[in-house]
A and B are shown apart, each in its own frame.
Chain A
Amino acid sequence: DTGVSQDPRHKITKRGQNVTFRCDPISEHNRLYWYRQTLGQGPEFLTYFQNEAQLEKSRLLSDRFSAERPKGSFSTLEIQRTEQGDSAMYLCASSLEGGEETQYFGPGTRLLVL
């Protein structure tokens, strides 16, 4: 399967702990996006990378959130000092720059903060 992959698929953590999620995009895609989705809502944009450069961050991405894409391939999203309000599905998408640029999504990581 050469689609977008995310790891882990599920994460349960206690409030105050740090968590890290990984996203592996489609191999030739140079753009990578993170979205967050809470129950009953559509996904909300968090941040995006073009190659290794982080080009936009949403105001939703508080100081406790950090994302990296060190070599322009996989990306990590870290949440420090998790809060119950961080409980959500974290989605990663990738696209190939240029033209109509369709974003393809991974299966998501579902986070539950107790």
Chain B
Amino acid sequence: DAKTTQPPSMDCAEGRAANLPCNHSTISGNEYVYWYRQIHSQGPQYIIHGLKNNETNEMASLIITEDRKSSTLILPHATLRDTAVYYCIVRGWNAGNNRKLIWGLGTSLAVNP
């Protein structure tokens, strides 16, 4: 089972920031938080990942709470092309050979004009 919970859907106005929450209360010390998104009928696209520090790249920012039990993905200026299902995934990097990603249902983000 997925180790994360996300709201099933969210709306955002074009040009505004989209803040997507994720709860991962059972995360352990060696587990990273990964975010992917999937635009309709396409393969998942990697967005960002982090361990405990906040991270930023050209696509988004990831804010992880100090206790690491939750995180927020921020799309600073959402566009219509950001409409997609966003998945938050917890995965250890020191888990032997088991590196599979376990996916939940994600958050369906609709960016409205």
Contacts and interface: CB of A to CB of B under 8 A. Distances in A.
A101 B41 CA distance: 25
B25 interface: no
Interface of B: 2, 32, 34, 36, 41-46, 49, 87, 93, 97-106
Contact of A91 (B32, B43, B100): B43
B102 A45 contact: yes
Interface string A31-73: 1010100001111110010100001100000000000000000
Contacts of B2: 42
Interface of A: 4, 6, 31, 33, 35, 40-45, 48, 50, 55-56, 89, 91, 93, 95, 99-108, 110
Contacts of A43: 44, 101, 103
Give 6 nearest A-B pairs by CB, closest first. Answer: A42-B103, A105-B43, A45-B100, A105-B44, A108-B43, A107-B43
24 contacts: A6-B43, A31-B99, A33-B101, A35-B101, A40-B105, A42-B2, A43-B101, A45-B100, A45-B102, A48-B100, A50-B97, A55-B97, A56-B97, A56-B100, A93-B44, A100-B32, A100-B49, A101-B93, A103-B99, A103-B101, A104-B46, A107-B42, A108-B41, A110-B41
